[in-house]
Amino acid sequence: MPLNIPQTNQKKVIIIGAGFGGLQVAQSLAGNEDFQVVLIDKNNYHQFQPLFYQVATAGLEPSAISFPLRLAFHNYSNIHVRVASVTKIISEKNLIETDLGELSYDFLIMAIGADTNFFGNKNIQEKALPMKSVGEALGLRNRLLENFESALVSDNEDERVGLLNVVVVGGGPTGVEVSGTLAEMKRHVLPKDYPELNFDLMQIYIVESGAELLGPMSKNAQVKSKEYLEQLGVNVMLGSRVSDFDGQYAYFNDGSKIRTNNLVWAAGVKANSIEGINPEIMARGGRMKVNRYNQIEGYDNIFALGDVAYMTEEKFPNGHPQVAQPAIQQGKLLAKNLINLIRGNNLKEFTYRDLGSMATVGRNLAVVDLPFWRFQGFFAWLTWMFVHLMAIVGVKNKLLIFINWLWNYVTYDQSLRLIIRAKSPKS
């Protein structure tokens, strides 16, 4: 039997992707006897993307922001988790193809998220350091720590500068948070780990092609985030664009270059895709056009959520922001609408409720834009921590992260700077 899913009379819902949207639908339908839910993901865990940067900068272990999918559904017999890659959708037969076999569906939900957008630059794609998964965040941590070790034993100052310098491309929340954390490590942690190194040589740059950091946020948040980063010693480069990277130099569109072996790419995302969906319904960034019920244009029983869904509203004529909240809210409503569908009830249109946005820059420094209040500084930092702590899946993970954050705050030291490599093949 394909993927060993038991045959029942329930309506079969296949969810591709266990991110915020996919997990929300599965949780909302868990225990509902009308549905058999198959949750498919390449990993057997849910990843909390907003804290990838803390894994990358040795603030948290990967396990602290990852939650086993099977653990989430221990008590629900109608939820089936499968670790697989979906390779094709055959919509005319209501089938999906995976690397484990075929599977039929009554309803298909695509919650496959987004990946790093390198805008067609092959050199940057091959040599830069992206951060769109726990694995990539761990890879970034390894690279930075390995380069610090190499700088320690290098007797060439130019090489040492390249190993120490970090260029972060992208002035959104991820870029701002990575830059601020690295600046604090340079100030408080790295000189203790590597007392033989002169960290005055180390420069941290954040490069943004626009005129401001944190483009979608308020003017106050943009100004304050820049001010905070500069206080921490970060070189803020606005109106600049990295055009190429050869592993030793970051090249800019104005002809200038910066010596660095470390280019962190946080400059944009593009929606993931699976063969079988009509390419004519693709919108900007590879997102799929959906109606207000999250139905993909041209399909009655295939839906898209979150980063891959291009849904327009009066307040969001260019689609919703590609962050967690739209995916979570769409997931909750879609679960209710699936119940309405099989019961013959009217469907409810989705309306995005913007809960605000926020970014942390460093210790005691953050910016928060709520619908009714905008503020910065220490209280914003506490707010950022509370919101992210509450959003983490799993009580154990919440506790681990709280302990880590408390320890970091008291000691100025993350103490998780481990270089973890896969075992090298024997020569």
241 and 299, same domain (yes or no): no
166 and 59, same domain (yes or no): no
82 and 201, same domain (yes or no): no
Asked if residue 411 is part of any domain, the answer here is no
Question: What pTM, to 2 d.p., does this model score?
Answer: 0.92
**pLDDT at residue 328 in the model:** 97
Dist. CA 85–CA 15, nearest whole Å: 12
101 and 153, same domain (yes or no): no
327 and 274, same domain (yes or no): yes
157 and 110, same domain (yes or no): no
214 and 140, same domain (yes or no): yes
State which residues form the domain around 263: 122-267
226 and 274, same domain (yes or no): no
**pLDDT at residue 337 in the model:** 97
Number of separate domains in the chain: 2
**pLDDT at residue 427 in the model:** 41
330 and 212, same domain (yes or no): no
- Domain end (from 282, 308, 343): 343
Q: Which residues contact 90 (CB under 8 A, 6 or more apart)?
A: 96, 97, 276
Dist. CA 313–CA 61, nearest whole Å: 39
Out of 61, 97, 136, 177, pick the active-site residue.
Answer: 177
**pLDDT at residue 1 in the model:** 47
**pLDDT at residue 408 in the model:** 83
Q: Which residues contact 99 (CB under 8 A, 6 or more apart)?
A: 84, 85, 87
**pLDDT at residue 217 in the model:** 93
Average confidence (pLDDT) per 10 residues, the chain, 427 residues: 83 97 97 96 94 89 92 94 96 95 96 93 95 90 93 94 96 95 91 91 96 94 96 96 96 96 93 95 94 96 97 94 95 97 95 94 94 94 93 88 86 73 56
Residue pair 86/276 in contact by the 8 Å Cβ criterion: no
237 and 300, same domain (yes or no): no
- Domain end (from 249, 267, 285): 267
Question: Would you list the DSSP string of 127-184?
Answer: HSB--SSHHHHHHHHHHHHHHHHHHHH---HHHHHHHH-EEEE--SHHHHHHHHHHHH
SS3 assignment, position 287? coil
- Domain end (from 316, 343, 370): 343
Asked if residue 373 is part of any domain, the answer here is no
Could you tell me whether strands 101-104 and 95-98 are parallel, antiparallel, or unpaired per DSSP bridges?
A: antiparallel
210 and 262, same domain (yes or no): yes
Amino acid (one-letter) located at 221 = A
Is residue 149 part of the annotated active site? The answer reads: no
Count of residues in the chain: 427
CATH number of the structural domain spanning residue 133:
3.50.50.100
Backbone angles phi, psi at 248, to 5 degrees: -130, -25
Backbone angles phi, psi at 421, to 5 degrees: -110, 155
**pLDDT at residue 410 in the model:** 79
